[in-house]
Amino acid sequence: MSIVIRRLVAADQSLLSNVAPGVFDDPIIPASAEKFLADPNSVLVAALDGKKDSLVVGFASAMIYLHPDKSAPEMLILEVGVDDTYRKRGIGKGIMKAVLAEGQAAGCKLAWLATEPDNAAALALYKSVGGKPPETCIHIDFDLTADG
């Protein structure tokens, strides 16, 4: 398998036109991808299958931020996804290690994410790279659209 895992930068935007189905929740919006990749505090790590024209088969997206009461930045991992046909090959673990390394290189002292308590595959992945889930966590969504 010729999978390459690396952070994408602005010059890599064209790679996001070749994404395996189901990797992202929705189709890539080129203008949004351009803005995300141009922001130095936005991190997109991708797994690319070199045997399939650098097909994006997995990713993790994250934001690096500094909060007013923190002495060092933190990393919020937004999403992680791997195409179903590429799962159980260590790609998710490689992606997680790479995104965490990006946070460490940026001086982050903590990285965090949220997932559903019944998402066994995600929990196993996060634990495999040293994640420690809290005893309880409640994820609250706020609809910020005018109709919300």
Domain that holds residue 41: 3-128
pLDDT band at 1 (very low <50, low <70, confident <90, very high): low
Q: Residue 23 carries which DSSP code? A: S
Q: In what order do the strands lie in the sheet with 74-82?
A: 3-7, 42-49, 55-65, 74-82, 110-112
Q: In the prediction, which pLDDT does 142 show?
A: 66
In a domain, 74, yes or no: yes
Average pLDDT, rounded, for the chain: 90
Domain count, the chain: 1
- Domain-embedded: residue 69: yes
pLDDT tens per residue, range 16-68:
999 999 899 999 999 999 999 999 999 999 999 988 889 999 999 999 999 99
Residue 88: CATH number of its domain: 3.40.630.30
Please choose, from the candidates 100, 107, 56, the residue with its C-alpha nearest in 3D space to the C-alpha of residue 82.
56
The pTM score is 0.86
Asked if residue 106 belongs to a domain, the reply is yes
Q: Is residue 133 part of a domain?
A: no
Which helix or strand (DSSP H or E) is residue 12 part of?
A: none
| In-domain check, residue 118 | yes
pLDDT band for position 123 (cuts 50, 70, 90): confident
DSSP 8-state symbol, 15: G
User: Phi/psi at 64 (nearest 5 deg)?
Assistant: -105, 130
Residue 19 DSSP one-character state: B
Does residue 38 lie in a domain region?
Answer: yes
Is residue 59 included in any domain, yes or no? yes
Q: Which of 5, 93, 94, 9 is nearest to 54 (CA)?
A: 5
Q: Is residue 56 part of a domain?
A: yes
- What tokens appear for 36 in the block? 């995300």
